[in-house]
Amino acid sequence: MATPRSLYERIFQVLLFEGLAISIFAPVLSWVVDKPLGDATALTVAISITAMLWGLAFNSFFGVLISCASSGVQKWQRVIHALGFETGLVLVAVPLSAWWLQMTLVQALLMDLGLLLVFLPYTFCFYWAYDMLRQRLVKARPRPNASEPRKPSVNSRSSQYTPARAVKTSGS
């Protein structure tokens, strides 16, 4: 069975995903729509905040489905994950982009579809690589085995005043 992800790990995962996305896609967006980098970065950050909230909820739901269905995440499940996530995000990002960049909804949709063609492989590759790296790290982490008795440490005495060995007395 797959090791469940904690809330802290999910937050880390989403922040890492969005941080990389902003650094990659803000300059690309600025170039594609011929807008200043500041405007493109501000829009990218706004969409990123939306995506983080959506991603936290969606990834938690998706993680529950995966943990119930199998012991690991298959590639086809990551394709479904990427498509589902991006579809939900498009429903919010297109109107926001149209308003922010002062363009029509059709122009914003076309721009978003173009970015989606680049972002879908990014989403798939990021989560697949994250899963692979996480799987290796979880396997490498030593786990205490409850069935083995705990070995006493070198300094485990009942009291700090109890001698480590019996002391011979001269009168016996």
The parent domain of residue 63 ranges over 7-140
Residue 91 lies in a domain: yes
Residue 129 lies in a domain: yes
Residue 74 lies in a domain: yes
Residue 149 lies in a domain: no
Rounded to two decimals, the pTM is 0.60
Q: Which residues contact 30 (CB under 8 A, 6 or more apart)?
A: 36, 37, 39, 40, 41
- The pLDDT assigned to 150 comes to 55
- The pLDDT assigned to 132 comes to 92
Residue 2 lies in a domain: no
The CA distance from 68 to 71, in Å, is 8
How many domains does one find in the chain? 1
- The pLDDT assigned to 10 comes to 82
Q: Which residues contact 74 (CB under 8 A, 6 or more apart)?
A: none
Backbone phi and psi for residue 21, each to the nearest 5 degrees, phi listed first:
-65, -45
**Could you give the 3-state DSSP secondary structure of residue 142?**
coil
- The pLDDT assigned to 145 comes to 61
Residue 169 lies in a domain: no
Residue 164 lies in a domain: no
Residue 80 lies in a domain: yes
Residues (pLDDT < 70) of the chain are 1-2, 68-73, 142-172
